[in-house]
Amino acid sequence: MQNINILLETASSYCQKGDFKQGIHLYSQYITQNNQNPVAFYQRGKAYFKIKDYQAAQSDMSKAIKLKPESAELYAERGLVYYMAKQQDAAMQDFNTAVEMEPENPFRYASRAFIKDHLNDLEGAKKDYQKALELDPEDAISHNNLGLVLGKMGNHKKAEQHYKDAEKIDPKNFGMSKSTEEKADVTPQPKPEPAPLPNIKNDKNKQEKPTFGNTLKSLITSADERKEFWGFVKGKIFGG
């Protein structure tokens, strides 16, 4: 098992360096030996996504979902793949599923709103950003993006209030007094999650050392992992 885990680590390393084809090759070698790990399919799906092989990315995300059907994150990220493949109905179905699975998670609504905005569903985007802010009033990104949506809808007074709220919450990123024409939507980001309490061995009262397997299990819900994937979508696809 240790040798195939090294395959997974190496594949990830190649992808981090931008060599997605070699990463895919190594992920495939790993999956040949262990086809029950949802993270392997998820990571290979991301690599396919980045080289714009959306059909392969969809297939891998779907396999990951089959192995980990309780993951709202997987549905949301497969939704991104569907969106880029211009399968808008399938994309929204996945985003809707993610919201239904985590109805108290503001990131789910903000993510769906981001896509609705780009699909020109301004009313739907407005409602989702409003729900996200109802759940997390201190989300500067949702305030900024809701302001942009309201501006597109002609409600400039309310838009300006949300810009001011974003600036008040996060003056570093939203405090440059940009004109409405210069403002741009910002990719939704999950809030940092608290670190889990350390595991304590009862017999020795020592902290259990993290294993590669434990680390692997946490990847799919990692805030950094989500931020990296959404950042790619924003920077490479929407031109942010």
Average pLDDT for the chain: 84
- Architecture category of domain 110-191 in CATH: Alpha Horseshoe (1.25)
The enclosing H or E element of 152 equals helix 140-152
Residue 28: CA count within 13 A, CB half-sphere? 10
d(CA 240, CA 232): 9
State the pLDDT confidence band at 160, using cuts at 50, 70 and 90. very high
Orientation angle between helical segments 212-219 and 38-50, nearest 10 degrees: 50
Buried b (16+ CB within 10 A) or exposed e, 138-151: ebbbbbbbbbbbbb
Looking at residue 207, its pLDDT comes to: 41
Q: Taking the alpha carbons of 96, 105, 124, 84 in that order, is the dihedral positive or negative?
A: negative
Q: Which residues contact 199 (CB under 8 A, 6 or more apart)?
A: 207, 208
Looking at residue 76, its pLDDT comes to: 95
Annotated domain spans of the chain? 110-191
> Which carries the bigger pLDDT value, residue 83 or residue 225?
83
d(CA 37, CA 40): 6
- The Cα-based distances of 116 to 2, 89, 149, 172, 227 in angstroms read 43, 11, 10, 27, 19
pTM of the complete model = 0.80
Looking at residue 191, its pLDDT comes to: 72
Residue 118: both structure tokens together: 């780009």
Q: Which residues contact 235 (CB under 8 A, 6 or more apart)?
A: none
* 170 has a pLDDT exceeding 90: yes
- The Cα-based distances of 101 to 81, 105, 135 in angstroms read 19, 9, 15
Q: Average pLDDT, stretch 83-99? A: 96
Looking at residue 217, its pLDDT comes to: 46
Q: Which residues contact 237 (CB under 8 A, 6 or more apart)?
A: 84
Q: Average pLDDT, stretch 94-114? A: 97
> Closest Cα to residue 102, out of 228, 229, 233, 221?
221
* DSSP assigned state of 222: -
State the pLDDT confidence band at 200, using cuts at 50, 70 and 90. very low
